[in-house]
Amino acid sequence: MPVAHAWAAHAAHAPFAPFQFQRRALEPNDVRIDILYCGICHSDVHFARGEWGDPSYPCVPGHEIVGRVSAVGDAVRSFKVGDLAGVGCLVDSCGHCGACEEGLEQYCDGGSTGTYMSVEAQTGLPTYGGYSDFIVVRESFALHVRHPESDLAAVAPLLCAGITLWSPLRHWQAGPGKK
């Protein structure tokens, strides 16, 4: 398994410090994304400070990830090496329950896998977030980023704040002439 380098919280009120850990090896439906930018969400701060329960230190937050695809699994069809991609707060789900089939993986009956503070189904290892140099996720949990590279720092926060707004607008079919 490849070694990732990150900035981790090692205790609730300690400053972030370097940390190394193993990411899972690339599987057929996975993309590896070399992280270029990761937003700092206040959720990350709550998590690192242990304000949402024990995060099992050391912890690596970060769920507003933008980077460049550096490897793809044999079954990946929608990404190629060199593509720009983003990852939000989820990296996996069962994929076959009713919620997953409707594209609502956050409500997965089997339990969705968070970008951090979760456990990978593939390895049983903890998930670590985007305050690291790369991440490996299933292709279906990566998004194409088509913005110019000069805008990527501004794109990263959209993977949390942006989707937080977009999801209810889409759910309630908001559009011209609606309130």
Contact 16, 131 (CB under 8 A): yes
For the chain, the first-to-last Cα distance in angstroms comes to 50
Q: Which two tokens mark 38?
A: 């990761």
The residue type at 111: G
Q: Which two tokens mark 162?
A: 């942006």
Instruction: Find the helix or strand (DSSP H, E) in which 30 lies.
Output: strand 30-38
pLDDT of residue 179: 79
Range list of β-strands (E), 41-88: 65-72, 84-87
d(CA 143, CA 164): 15
Average pLDDT of the chain to the nearest whole number? 93
Predicted confidence band at 13 (pLDDT cuts at 50, 70, 90)?
very high
pLDDT in tens, 102-118: 988 989 998 899 999 89
pLDDT in tens, 130-151: 999 999 999 999 999 999 999 9
